[in-house]
Amino acid sequence: MAAPNISLTLYYNPECPYVHRALTTLHELSLPFTTHFVDLDVPRSPAYLAINPRGTVPALTFKSPDYNDNRETIVNESLVIIYFLGNLLPNHLLPAAVTGVQVAVDRARIFYFINTWENKINPLFEKVYIASFAGQKEAKEVEDLLVAAIKKEIEPLLKKEERDREGLFLGGKDKFTMAEVVVAPLMLRLFAFVHGGLLPQSLKSNLLALPYFGKWAREIVKNENLLKEWDEAKFLEGSKAKLQQFRDGTYKPKIAT
C-alpha cells in the first residue's frame, strides 16, 4: 500500500515512552517522517508552545495537498497521534473503520484494552518509577499493586478464545496491534529499571510468571520497529543520574513553560 500524500514531522524526545509509541507506529506503518528534538530539561520555547500549549511530547505536524490547502495541521498527545496515523491507510495495527460486525468487534477489543491499560495500569507504572527513587521497600509495595492490577485487569483480556490461538498478540493476531504499541515502550523501560538494579528483580519475574501477560510481554519487547528507537544503556545512564540528583537533593523536575 502506497504511503499517503502527506508530510509528517514528529516533535520528540527519545527518553519519553509516549514518544516511543508514535515512533513505533511510524515505523510499523513504514511512513516517511522527519523529527524535531524537544529538550525536556529546559523551559519550552514559545515556538513549541505554539504547537503544543501543554509543552509535552510528542506532537505531530503534517501537511498534505489533499487537505487544508497544504497548510500545517497539528495533532497532539500520543494516543491521538497513533490513532490518527492508524487511520491514514489500511494497516495491521487498527482495523479499518468500515461497517461490519467483525471489524467492529476487533476495534472495540483494541480500544477497550487501551482504555483499561491507560486508566487501571498506567498510573501504577508512574508510582513504580517514583518508588524506585525512594527505596526497595516502597518499590516492593507498589510492585505488589502493579502485579495484582495486571492480573485482575489485563490477564482476562489476553486470554484468547479458542478460535484466536494462532498469534501471540491481542485477539490472536500475528502482528502488533495498537494495544501492543501502547504498552511495549512502558514495558521496555520497566524491564530496564530491573536490569539496572533500580527495581527489584521480583517485579519482572512476577509479571512474566502471569500465564497470559507474561507470554505476551516477552514477545512485545522483541518487536524490531520498537527497538529501532531504543537504547537501554543510555536510558539507564540518564535514569541513574536523575536518581543520584534525587538522593543528593539537587533534582528539580522540569516545567514545560
Q: Detail the DSSP E strand segments found in the chain.
A: 7-12, 34-37, 59-63, 73-76
Give residue 253's pLDDT band: very low, low, confident or very high (50, 70, 90): low
The stretch 111-126 carries a mean pLDDT of: 94
Instruction: Say what the pTM is.
Output: 0.92
DSSP designation for 171: G
Answer whether residue 162 shows pLDDT above 60. no
What residue spans in the chain does CATH classification 3.40.30.10 cover? Answer: 7-86
| 101-222 is classed CATH 1.10.150 | no
Its CATH class, for the domain covering 7-86, is: alpha beta
**CA-based torsion, 86, 88, 91, 95: positive or negative:** positive
Answer whether residue 206 shows pLDDT above 60. yes
- pLDDT (tens digit, 9 = 90+) per residue, 27-64? 999 999 999 999 998 999 999 999 999 999 999 999 99
What residue spans in the chain does CATH classification 1.20.1050 cover? Answer: 101-222
Single out the residue of 169, 132, 123 nearest to residue 150, CA to CA: 123
